[in-house]
Amino acid sequence: MLDLLITNATLPDGRCDMSVAVQAGRITEVTAGLRAAAAETVDAAGQLLTPPFCDPHFHMDATLSYGLPRVNESGTLLEGIAVWGELKPQLRADDIIERALAYCDWAVARGLLAIRSHVDTSDPSMLPVEALLEVRRRVAGVIDLQLVAFPQDGVLRAPRGMENLERALDLGVDVVGGIPHFERTMSEGAASVRLLCELAAERGKLVDMHCDETDDPLSRHIETLAFETQRLGLQGRVNGSHCTSMHGMDNYYVSKLLPLIAQSGVSVIANPLINITLQGRHDGYPKRRGMTRVPELMAAGVNVAFGHDCVMDPWYGMGSADMLEVAHMGLHVAQMTSRTGMQACFDAVTTNAAQVMHLDGYGIAAGCEASFVLLQAGDAIEAIRLRANRLKVWKRGVVLAETPHVAAALRVPGRPGAVTFTAPARR
């Protein structure tokens, strides 16, 4: 007998009336219309069953610290870094852990079960690193928490920056980070990319750099990152995060750059909520949108994912671990309004993000981990439109969180789960 059978589910690729059979925490079969004996059977009633949301770019050491020690009044990236610098000497490991665990609870409620978090390695005390390693231990088995050694103050610019970053890797941090646009000069930025990629190649690590998170169209570290990836044979193991300078780059240059990124197998993460609020701050009107060229990168064959980046921290006072909100903003800022484009925005917070993170056993297919989310929506596009309610969240076949069915589901009439009104507005 099966442990769990979910029937009548719609999958993100559009297949309907699908049954998902689960045994010992794994999916054993995904077939249309399957009926079989199971300890528990859940009728999905035609609603969307998706693999868990994945956030490939987050800062869990800073989350929920909004207002500490003060609010970022200008709203700029640089004032955010300054506020974080003021908070750092006051940080206590217990506080970081408590805030991060509170965020992890939000994440579970939202069906967000894989998070790649950068962790600041600039402080020789390694306090944020130790704190997030502890969080990773505590949430293991529930959230796949991947940590990136992130030299917030610049690996070459900050005293002993490289040494501190290497210490973080020695302690168990998973991925090599970087911030070339924050180094002192363009050439030091390029040097940092080279050194960090060499370090990752030596240690067999993935790379994920904050890359060109600026409106300066001449910030071209993504080019160096793609070059070093090819030179060192790191194809498929490197990611450029943000890449906002690409928004304002010369179009002719971009026409050469996009194939280079695609050939190098470098993936790109845009962070729509943060990019649209932090970038363009030096512009008069018209103001740039401040997000990288998502549809063009996708069309060139680059894997593009969306991250949340920040929730209630020195850079962003909003957010609630809702990756559908991230997809919703990405869709608008990138003007991805075709059916294909909207679907791609859903993929950007699920499968594309899982690919960036190299997650094993991710997906709704036989052999995958039985982790998924039942949404109160008929398909992926409706899920984004509604920032849909998470009815149930499973991890390895076990329910982690449930949210009651929302009556006012605002569904298109005639679709599964549409509201039955007792007192409709239309009389």
Which positions lie near Fe ion, rule CB under 5 A?
Answer: 309
Closest CA to 224 of 245, 197, 242, 248: 197
Q: Name the active-site residue from 79, 213, 228, 369.
A: 213
Written as six digits, the tokens of 255 are: 């026409």
Angular region, 68: left φ>0, alpha ψ -120 to 50, beta rest:
beta
98 in active site: no
Segments in 221-309 forming alpha helices (H): 221-231, 245-248, 251-264, 272-278, 294-299
- Residue 240's closest CA among 288, 193, 173? 193
Which residue, 117 or 371, has its beta carbon nearer to Fe ion? 117
Closest CA to 244 of 309, 187, 161: 309
> Pick from 114, 174, 109: which is nearest to 141 by CA?
114
Complex with Fe ion: residue 240 or 417, whichever CB lies closer: 240
Take residue 206 and report the two structure tokens written for it.
């993935």
284 class by beta-carbon count within 10 Å (0-12 exposed, 13-18 middle, 19+ buried): exposed
Q: How far is the CB of 105 from Fe ion (least distance, A)?
A: 22
As a whole number of angstroms, the distance between CA 3 and CA 116 comes to: 30
In the complex, least distance from residue 329 CB atom to Fe ion, rounded to whole angstroms: 15
Q: Nearest 5°: phi and psi at 260?
A: -65, -45
When the beta carbons of 243 and 373 are compared against Fe ion, the nearer one is 243
Least separation in angstroms between residue 352's CB and Fe ion is: 17
Provide, rounded to whole angstroms, the least separation between the CB of residue 393 and Fe ion. 25
Q: Are strands 144-150 and 390-395 parallel, antiparallel or unpaired?
A: unpaired
**Nearest distance from residue 39's CB to Fe ion, in Å?**
43
What secondary structure does DSSP assign to 155-224, as a single string?
A: TTTSTTHHHHHHHHHHHT--EE---GGGSSSHHHHHHHHHHHHHHHHHHT-EEEEEE--SS-TT--HHHH
How far is Cα 189 from Cα 220, in angstroms, rounded to an integer? 10
Closest CA to 325 of 339, 341, 345, 344: 345
* Tally: H helices and E strands in the chain: 14, 16
Nearest residue (CB) to Fe ion, 309 versus 347:
309
Q: How far is the CB of 222 from Fe ion (least distance, A)?
A: 15
Closest approach of Cβ 82 to Fe ion, in Å?
16
- Residue positions annotated with a catalytic role: 213
